[in-house]
Each structure stands twice: as structure tokens, then as C-alpha cells.
Structure 1
Amino acid sequence: MKRSSFIGVICLFLVLMVVLSCNQKPKEQPKTSIDNAQWWKEAIVYQIYPRSFKDSDGDGVGDLKGIVEKLDYIKSLGVTAVWLNPIYTSPNADNGYDVSDYRDIMEEFGSMADFDSLLAGMHQRDIKLVMDIVVNHSSDQHEWFKQSRSSRDNPYRDYYHWWPAEKGKPPYRYSLFDAKGDAWQYDSLTNAYYLHYFAKQQPDLNWSNPKVRQEVYDIMKFWADKGVDGFRLDAFQFAAKDTTYPKFPDGFEKDFIQYYAMQDGLHDYLKEMNEEVFSKYDVMSVAEGAGRNFEDAHKLVDQDRNELNLAYAFEGVDIPKYEGYDLATMKEVFTKWDQEFAEDGWLSIFLANHDQARMVSRWGNDSEAFRSASTKLLNTFILSMRGTPYCYYGDELGMTNIDFDSISQYQDIAAINGYQKALSEGEDMDLFMEKLNFGSRDNGRTPMQWDGSTNAGFTSGTPWLPVNPNFAEINVQVEDSDSNSVLNHFRAMTQLRKQNPILVYGDYKLIMPEHPTVYAYTRTMDDKKLLVLLNFSKESSTVSLDKNWAASPILINNYNDLDIIDNSLKLKPFQAVILNIN
């Protein structure tokens, strides 16, 4: 072929390709309606109670090196952030929530070098670290308090709340952890009372003192400069107090939140904290509690407020009681919170934490027959709702409440002092112990169940809190190799959430609100719609669907099959299904 002819053929070929490409429809790009996307909205948070996660040195207490050992496991869960309960130096009156040095590590947990190794290991695995900051109160062993109680004219005196005894007994304040329920503790050294909303070893800091506030901001900057990715402010909704200490109405303790939470000055403190700390770092910020009402919660987290990122409301997690709970209440509470924050602000979604008993024992059915299915259902709920999900260690396995026989087995100061208070007030102690066995915080603090060896692989020594006897059946080793396990269902749900922004940002709508046993809702974004069906019952439940929905692709199912009869689904006990109903 002549060179000129060859060039002509090439030119003709190129012309044809251009014509064909012009006639083809352009490839449609995926639509998105994600406004104000943030990493902390998309995060899947895994809460670790460090005393109970993994002990590396055989002293019976979990530690930082133990967490480092298990970082690959944490990564395998599909979570993207870890909330670590307090690891600071502490006398441990309240398991670390009484801090005596905010810039050092509790000896039981390891060293600052261990912390640096943990943080680096998390970041290498693209896992962020959220620290617990306990600054409503400190330990009575903190140097600030030692100085404060040493004399009335000490420079640290106003770091805490004091009432001189010569003025008589101070107006009554209720303490959540005190054996007598009294939040004023007499101190003979200066003939005065100090205030403690929690245990007497946890004196409340005086946030009206600007020096206290600056101390706290400097502490937070210390950790942020190390590379910490977020802060959870413990009990902070109680930090602002009227320092004239007015008398409260008789019986106020029955609804103490109205008198303790979100008092004047709190928003000023948070705005100042935001300006000093949060605005200078790419950190997540969340405070324990969301105030007394929706207005309080919005003021905490609406974008234009420049205070916090996420609301952490208790109304949902407080639903289950010893007597049980009504599914209709759960639907109502979670739906109203979602709708209230559909346009502005952002929510935390959780069913358990270190202050609650085990999730499946409170919300589901922890019997051998239904534990697995009901735990999968609960994890499906957490990971399919709008908001940032928080998953508590061990709930990815279906760990259950432990059965204690006597008060001597409890370690929690709230349980021990609560028992003494009930005893002194003449309560029915058998009933008290039954309720404590159901709801005690120690239920949620038993050691992580890693395998079937002695002490569930948690420690080679004597664990600080007993291991649940069911560890041989419920542990990581057993569940890791079982494709139908609670653990592997949890992993499937985290992957589904990460692959589908609709589960993070999509609209939520409750459907079938009157159904007595099924919690059903849709998640919608642009032209995509998902249907979540959760049967909160140990009996089968039937739901009628739109004729086009019954044949929809199944994205998640905690059973191996789904019974479809015409346009109805017969859900098995505690069956959880997510359908793509586009």
C-alpha cells in the first residue's frame, strides 16, 4: 500500500471514531446530594473501655499495649474511629473518670510512649482516635484540688465550688453517685463544703473561673498537638453552675436534669472552647448529653453556633427498663430526633456504652435461641440510621450481661454506693439486686472475649472484673471463622454503610408506624431508596409491601433466606433485612 493511501485509511478511521463517539450517549455520572460532608459524619465509631479490652502484661487490667496488639482486629471490623475511655493518671475511684493528671497516662495502662505507639498504629490503619475529656470534675487527688483545699486564700481555691461552713449547711444538691445522695462534702481542713455532682472523690470544677477554662483548653491542645482526632466531653452539660447556689424545689432530684444541664454560661464556654481549640484542628467534638430539650441540643450542634459537631442524646438509650420496653416508644423517640435534626445539626446513634448494661440483654433477647439474631438486628439498626454510629466493644460479638450473685462482686462505684443508699432508705433489697443485675454498668465492662482459653484470652492473670462464663461460645476466635456469626454480620454492615452514602446522609422516613413488632423505615437520597425491616419479636411477623418491593435486591439479611408470599414478607424472629427498592 502506498504511503498516501495508508494515511488516508487512518484518517477515515479517525473520522469514523469521532462520529461514533458523538452519537453515543455520555456515561451518566452518579448523582449526589451530600451537602456539608464531614469525616466525622461518615465515621463508624468503636468504643473501647481500656480496662477491659486486652491485658498485655498479666496484671488483670487491660492496657494500651493490649489495644496495639489488636489493632488489626479493630481494622477488620470496618470501623473508622475509636473512642477511648479515660486513660489519664487516676486513683480509679470511678475507673478513670476521676483524673489526677490530664497530661500523663495511668500506670496500669502503660506509658506515654505506649500511647504514641497506639496513635501511630491507628493512623497507619486509617483509624482516628477520639479521647474522653473529663472536665466537669477532677479527682480529689489532682494537684489543683490539693491546693484548693489547703487554705481559703490559696490561688487555686476558686478552681472548685466551696461553701463556708459558718454560713450553715449549703442548699441541697443531689449527687448521682454519693451513698447518701448529697453533693456537698464537708472538709474540715478549711471548715467548708465542696460540691461534687458525682462521687465525693470527684469535686466539680468551677467553670466560671477563666483560669480553669484556660487550663482545660491547654490540656486539649496538648493532645490535639499529638495528633488526637477528636474529643468527647464527659458530663459537660453539667459544667455551668449558678455560683450563688440558690435553693432548688423539694424533690428536684427526680428530674435533676432540668436544674443541672445547660445552665447559663455553658454555651459561652463552648464557643470559647471552639475558638481556642476546635477551630484550630480538624477534630470531632461531642459532649455527653444533649440538654433538656431540642432547643438545647440545637444550640449545641447547629452549624452556625460554632460549638460542637454532634449531639449525644440519652432519650433513646434510656428506653429499656427492668420491666421491658415498648417498640412503639423506640420508633417514636428515634424518629422524632431524626426529624428534628434533618436540616441542621448532627446526631450520634447508639444503643450501648460504658454506662449501660449489654446491648442485647437490654434491647434484644440474650437467650441461646435468639441472641445471635437479635444482636445482628440491633447492629443493623445502629449502622443503617442517619447520624454517626457508636458501637461498643463486644457488641460486635453479642456479648451479654453477666449474672452476679451479691454486691461484693460489683466494682462500679455507682452500684456500690447505690446499694448503700437503697439499704439506708429501707428499699426492697431483693428487687434492688434484681434491677442492678439487669442494668448495672459492670455488665458492660466485663473483659473482651477473645477465645476459649482461660479468661477468654483477655489476661494471663486474674481479671479485674470476672469474665462472663459464656465466653467459650461467644468469642472472636469462634465467630471469626463462622460466616453466619454476629461478628461477620457486623463486618458486612460496616462495609455496606461505607459503600452506600445513602445510609449516612440519606433521608429517613418511618413506615408502618402502627406495626406492633416491626420497625420499618426507608433511607432515600436522589433516585436511590433503601428499605430497612427489623422484626423486634421472638415470633414471626408479616409485613405487606408495595408489589414492586417484594422482589427487590437484598443488601443485608441476618438469616440465609427470606420468606416472600405474594407481596408480603414473613420475617423470622428478630430478622433484619435491607432491600434496595429503587
Structure 2
Amino acid sequence: MDGFLRVNATTSAMPASPTNLFLAEEVASTCPLITPSPPTNDLINPPPDENQRTTFIIGEELANKLKHVKDDDKAAGDSGSSSSSVLAEPVCTQLLNHRHHYSHITKDENTTSQETNGKVQPMQLTFRNPPDDYFFMKWNWVLIRKVSIWTFLSGLIAMTALVVMMVGSLPKRCNPPTEWYQGGLMYEIFPASFHDADNDGVGDLKGIAIYADYIKQLGVSGVRLNSIFPATHYPEHYKNISTLLEIDPKLGSLRDFNNMVNALHLRNISILLDFPLYPHIQKLPSHQIREFNESQVEAGEFARKRSLENPNSDEISEALQFWMEYGVDGFYFKGLENYLEDPLFVPNLRRWKKLVRENPIIIDNAVLNKAPMELMNTILTNVDLVDIQVKIENGVSGIRNQLDSIQNGTLFSKASMPWIHWSLGNVDSIRLADRLHYGNATLGAILLQLMLPGTPCIFYGDEVGMHQVEDPENDREDLKHLHQLGAMIWEELRFTKKGLLPWMHGKPTHSNFKQLELVSKMAKLRVQSPSIYVNTVLKDGQSKANSEVKYSQGDLLVIQRYYPRRKSFVVVSNLGANLQTADLSKLLYTGNVIVGPKVDSKSESISFKEISLWPGESVVIELD
């Protein structure tokens, strides 16, 4: 086979001018064969036939001859090393500058075999010729490229749209979640004094529905109705109720009540009812405790069935179930402190809470003050709000002591504790405007109340500074206990078209509707700012009130509200009868006035270097 190399066996005498059997003389001399390899020139080795398989045979003799060539080169190198000129040159230089004699491999058919196990066996390397075309070469690669590009772009657009949609769906405010009765503004109404829609001289449920927009504009989240139940000589003696399952006819019918509930619910305002338990219920029932069945209560059949079978059944449970079916969202249990010594107090309270389920139960702080320690845990786990009246007339020192006592007490020890239901006045107290004898003191007091941690509640008329009913001639001494329940004074409409109220004697009271705007603004700010509306801050597993009295000297009170990673707020109130000026720069830096202190006040930057407030004024500031 002429296409293979042959190595001559002669190793002692190398030709002076090596001759390549395959290449030209000048090419062989200028391109020394450093590594023996088969030539690849197509002129010398023509390409094999496509239909033939190329076979290479490598024999043992070829390996031996290559070994002899290597030994000869080594010997030549050793002899040449004796020369000083050659010794001084590097090997690479020697290869380029000196002619070395190489014996080229020549063709020898005897070298195409090797000895294996004493026999000479040929070794063959076989290669299969590749086909002309592969199957994927016939694919429509133009279409494939277009489809791939559009698929990639479509996927990229879809992922971008998904990211944009996810970002857009994120909540704008990441505020801590609360129930509707936690942190929002409550509004307490005595229905007979709010508005008279049928002009009989007594307020009614229709009148409340008429002013649903007014209540909404005020920023109220829940309306709390005082006694609506039938009583002898209602409303003069509204506490002497005869049943918890009906409405006094002077207020309207169940249909009127349902219409009022719907009008308020449409405006996202909830309804709470005062439940005057004592003295209507002298002793808690016992027979219903043994026969109580939760599944019957869930189905709503327990109350109706019991009322038919036994006229002396548990009226409280029946009433709770009845009014929830008419859309009532919560209940204020009045007089509950009178049952603390009743042995059935605990099971009844638990049962009532199961009946109302997620609807809140409010109790007066007197229950906690009178309850023994063994009942405290049961009470706190079965109520949602505790009503506490702020003694605003006690001045700075009295308010600070009251706040410190409450915030360092049981109600702020755990996150699961009931929230505070703050009030400045109610159906049983003297009007706020008559307890604070200066200027727009009601506005300053309400701004201070709305900055307290918990759920504030405004008694109807206090938002406009309404006073007590005046009866200078004492015509009706028996109605003095109702002078705080005077008819609401409206800016546009009269309370009633009837000139003289049959149950209320006295002169009309005063009011200031200009401060409504600031009360409404403060109520909205409270809903938007967790620094103000939250009850406590959880830190290191402990619950801590996020309210701090920063300053209390003279008649000036400064309370700060804060929340992690949110802006802090302070309220500065003058609770005295004289102008108060103070330097608070050591405690606070600068901020922006958000609400107050006057009706015509504008939002502006303020420095605490010198702050001055007139009697009864309060200002709410957002700290920088």
C-alpha cells in the first residue's frame, strides 16, 4: 500500500540530505519532520472511494523502527553536545539553525502486522463514511427561527405583564389589620333626641336614617344607640324597660329599624345596641344553662322555641339572637357589674359570647373595678371593648395619672386584651361643653380624645359643642336627669316642627358647626395612620402601648403616638383657663400642623421652640 510510511532500519549512517518519498526536495529540507505522522496531502494520498472503508494497518516492525529513529536522534544529540558552539545553543535554536538527518518512514508490507500470543495478527482501524445529508437539514429553519423569536418575545412580554400586575395588586398601605370596632370612631345617639321625622316631638329611627350622610361625613364607623326598648313614659323614664325584644312605638316599628340599619350599612357604618340588663333582669336564669345546645343556637331556633315553651326563658339570649337577625353588629351590656356575685355569671357570659360570635361585646369599666381576681380572666376573654370615660375636667395631672394607670395595667399587658372604648360624655353624664367653661374647649378635648390608643366614642352633639338644656325657672325638677339629652341642634333643619317638646322644658342650647370640619378631618387621619389608631405595639413578644406623655406641666399636656417605620404624631393641649406658652425644643424638633388648633387654622410648619395655645385649644402635629 503506497499511501503508508516506511522507516529504514539503518540507524548508524544518516543521509546528509534527508529525502522525503512523498514531498519535493526543497519542501522537505525547509520543513523538517519533527513528529512522524502520515502525510495528509490529497495529491499523495487520494481520498478513498465513498463506497469503500479505509483501513490502516500498524505493525510491530513500524514501532521498532520508530524506536530506532528515536535512539539515533538521541545519540546524535549526545555527540553534538561535545561541541562548544552547539552546546551553547538552545534546543529550539538547534532545530532551526542546524540540519538534522531524519530517516523517513518507507512503505513496508511486512510492518502491517503485530505479534499476539506468538502469532502475528493484523490490527485494523475502520471508519464509516458520513452520509451526505442529515434528517434535520431538511427542516424549515427560517420558520423555526421566526417561531422561536416570537415565542421568546411573547414569554418575555407575559412575564413583564405578570410582574407589573403583581406590583399593581400590592396594597398601597401595609397597615396592621384590625376589626371594624378597633380604632374607628364610634358615635353614641339617644334616638329620642336626634331628629324627629314625624313631628310628634320625639326623635325616631327615621330621623337617624335621614342623617345617615351626616354621620358618614363625620367619619363614624359605628353608631351606638342608647335604649330603644319600650318603657313606661318613654323617653322620660327610658331605663324602666319592659322587654328587650321590642321597640318603643314612639321611635318607630321594626320596619323603620330595618330601614335605618340598611341606610347605615350602605355607608359602611355598623350598629350597636345598649342592653340595659339590670334592673330588668334581677337574677340570671339557671335552667337554660343545662339545656343549652350550641347547634340549636347556630340554627337560630333556640330562642324562638324557648319563648313559646317557657315564658320565663332566658330573655337575654333570645334578644341577642333576635337583634342579630335584624342586622345589629354589637352590644353594650349595661349593669353587668350587678351580676358578679351570681354563681351563673361565668357560664352565662360565655354563652352570650358564643351567641354573638364575632360581634363585639362592650362593658363598662366598673365591671373590671368590682370583679374579683378569679373572674377577671373570664371577663377579659369574653368581651371586646371596655368603656372608660376620660375625666377631662380633672386637668393635666388627672388625665396623666388616668392614662398611666390604664396603659400600665391589665388591658395593655397582652395583644389579646380588650380595646379601650374612650368616651368624654354619655347618656348619664353632664354635657362636655358644660364641664369645660371656656371657648371651643369641646374641639380641643375631642382632638385629644381622638389621639388616644383604642376606640374613641363621641356623644351626639359634642362634635358641635352643644350645651345642657337650661331650665332657669325649674319648671320640671323631675326632668333634670334628662338635661344632657337635649334635642340635637341642626344647622339647616330644626329638630322638630313642633314648637314645645312634651318631655323637655328649657331654652335651646348653643352649638358651633364650624368645628365639624376639624373633627371629621381628625377622624379620617386616625383611620389612615396606624400610629394613631393602633392600641399597642408588639415588641419582643410583649405588648406595649404606643402612647407616651412627653410633657405635662401647668395646664399644657403633650402626648406622642408612634408606630415602627411610620411617622409619629403629637397632640398639644391646653386644658387650663389661661394662655399657655412653652419651649419643647429639648423634647421635639419640628413638624407640620395637621389639625387645629382653631377652626380657621391652616397646615404649616411649626417649631417647638415656642408654642402657644389659648384655653381649650389642641393642635395635632406630624413630626418630621
Q: State if a TM-score over 0.5 links the two structures.
A: yes
Give the aligned partner of residue 339 of structure 1. 408
How has the CA–CA distance of structure 1 residues 292 and 547 changed in structure 2, closer, same or farther, with 3 Å as cutoff?
closer
How has the CA–CA distance of structure 1 residues 31 and 450 changed in structure 2, closer, same or farther, with 3 Å as cutoff?
closer
CA distance in 1, matches of 2:585, 2:199: 58
SS of equivalent to 1:331: helix
CA distance in 2, matches of 1:494, 1:501: 12
1:491 to 487, 504, 520: 520
How has the CA–CA distance of structure 1 residues 33 and 210 changed in structure 2, closer, same or farther, with 3 Å as cutoff?
farther
How has the CA–CA distance of structure 1 residues 546 and 32 changed in structure 2, closer, same or farther, with 3 Å as cutoff?
farther
Structure 1 residue 570 displacement after superposition:
2.1
CA distance in 2, matches of 1:459, 1:298: 55
How has the CA–CA distance of structure 1 residues 13 and 291 changed in structure 2, closer, same or farther, with 3 Å as cutoff?
closer
Structure 1 residue 226 displacement after superposition:
1.5
How has the CA–CA distance of structure 1 residues 299 and 31 changed in structure 2, closer, same or farther, with 3 Å as cutoff?
farther
SS of equivalent to 1:109: coil
How has the CA–CA distance of structure 1 residues 566 and 350 changed in structure 2, closer, same or farther, with 3 Å as cutoff?
closer
CA distance in 2, matches of 1:219, 1:34: 34
SS of equivalent to 2:220: coil
* Aligned: 1:382 with 2:449: yes
Please say if residues 31 and 526 of structure 1, whose CA atoms lie closer than 8 Å, have aligned partners that are also in contact.
no
Q: Deviations 1:541-571 (Å, cap 9, x if unpaired)?
A: 2233346944212221222268956723222
1:123 to 258, 262, 265: 265
Q: Please show how residues 163-562 of structure 1 align to structure 2 within 5 Å.
A: 204-207=281-284, 209-211=286-288, 214-241=314-341, 265-275=344-354, 277-279=355-357, 282-291=358-367, 293=369, 305-313=380-388, 316-317=390-391, 320=393, 325-340=394-409, 341-342=411-412, 343=414, 344-362=417-435, 364-365=436-437, 367=438, 370=439, 372=440, 374-412=441-479, 415=480, 441-451=481-491, 456-463=494-501, 464-466=503-505, 468-471=507-510, 474=511, 479=513, 485-505=514-534, 507-528=545-566, 529-546=568-585, 549-559=588-598, 560=601
Structure 1 residue 32 displacement after superposition:
5.5
1:134 to 276, 280, 283: 276
CA distance in 1, matches of 2:183, 2:547: 20
Please say if residues 338 and 386 of structure 1, whose CA atoms lie closer than 8 Å, have aligned partners that are also in contact.
no
Identify which range, 47-56 or 558-567, moves more after superposition. Answer: 558-567
Structure 1 residue 495 displacement after superposition:
1.0
Give the aligned partner of residue 150 of structure 1. none
CA distance in 2, matches of 1:110, 1:39: 28
How has the CA–CA distance of structure 1 residues 297 and 575 changed in structure 2, closer, same or farther, with 3 Å as cutoff?
farther
* Aligned: 1:68 with 2:239: no
CA distance in 1, matches of 2:256, 2:171: 46
Question: Amino acid of the residue matched to residue 528 of structure 2?
Answer: Q
How has the CA–CA distance of structure 1 residues 74 and 564 changed in structure 2, closer, same or farther, with 3 Å as cutoff?
closer
How has the CA–CA distance of structure 1 residues 55 and 304 changed in structure 2, closer, same or farther, with 3 Å as cutoff?
closer
SS of equivalent to 2:570: strand
Q: Deviations 1:153-194 (Å, cap 9, x if unpaired)?
A: xxxxxxxxxxxxxxxxxxxxxxxxxxxxxxxxxxxxxxxxxx
1:77 to 218, 241, 254: 218
CA distance in 2, matches of 1:265, 1:513: 47
Question: Amino acid of the residue matched to residue 444 of structure 1?
Answer: Q
Give the aligned partner of residue 84 of structure 2. none
CA distance in 2, matches of 1:527, 1:210: 54
How has the CA–CA distance of structure 1 residues 296 and 60 changed in structure 2, closer, same or farther, with 3 Å as cutoff?
farther
How has the CA–CA distance of structure 1 residues 381 and 265 changed in structure 2, closer, same or farther, with 3 Å as cutoff?
farther
SS of equivalent to 1:534: strand
CA distance in 1, matches of 2:220, 2:470: 30
Structure 1 residue 347 displacement after superposition:
1.0
SS of equivalent to 1:133: strand
2:612 to 559, 566, 570: 570
Please say if residues 552 and 558 of structure 2, whose CA atoms lie closer than 8 Å, have aligned partners that are also in contact.
no
Give the aligned partner of residue 104 of structure 1. 246
CA distance in 2, matches of 1:74, 1:298: 41
Structure 1 residue 68 displacement after superposition:
1.5
Please say if residues 89 and 106 of structure 1, whose CA atoms lie closer than 8 Å, have aligned partners that are also in contact.
yes
Rg (Cα) greater in structure:
2
Structure 1 residue 215 displacement after superposition:
2.4
Please say if residues 563 and 571 of structure 1, whose CA atoms lie closer than 8 Å, have aligned partners that are also in contact.
no
Question: Amino acid of the residue matched to residue 325 of structure 2?
Answer: D
CA distance in 2, matches of 1:208, 1:401: 40
Structure 1 residue 56 displacement after superposition:
1.5
Give the aligned partner of residue 114 of structure 1. 256
Structure 1 residue 410 displacement after superposition:
4.0
Q: Deviations 1:20-42 (Å, cap 9, x if unpaired)?
A: xx9xxx9998885737x222113
CA distance in 1, matches of 2:337, 2:587: 48
Structure 1 residue 133 displacement after superposition:
1.2
CA distance in 2, matches of 1:136, 1:556: 41
How has the CA–CA distance of structure 1 residues 522 and 269 changed in structure 2, closer, same or farther, with 3 Å as cutoff?
same
Please say if residues 387 and 420 of structure 2, whose CA atoms lie closer than 8 Å, have aligned partners that are also in contact.
yes
SS of equivalent to 1:494: helix
Structure 1 residue 95 displacement after superposition:
3.2
SS of equivalent to 1:487: helix
Question: Amino acid of the residue matched to residue 323 of structure 2?
Answer: W
Aligned residues: 435
How has the CA–CA distance of structure 1 residues 15 and 567 changed in structure 2, closer, same or farther, with 3 Å as cutoff?
farther
SS of equivalent to 2:246: strand
Root-mean-square deviation over aligned CA pairs:
3.6
Please say if residues 591 and 607 of structure 2, whose CA atoms lie closer than 8 Å, have aligned partners that are also in contact.
no
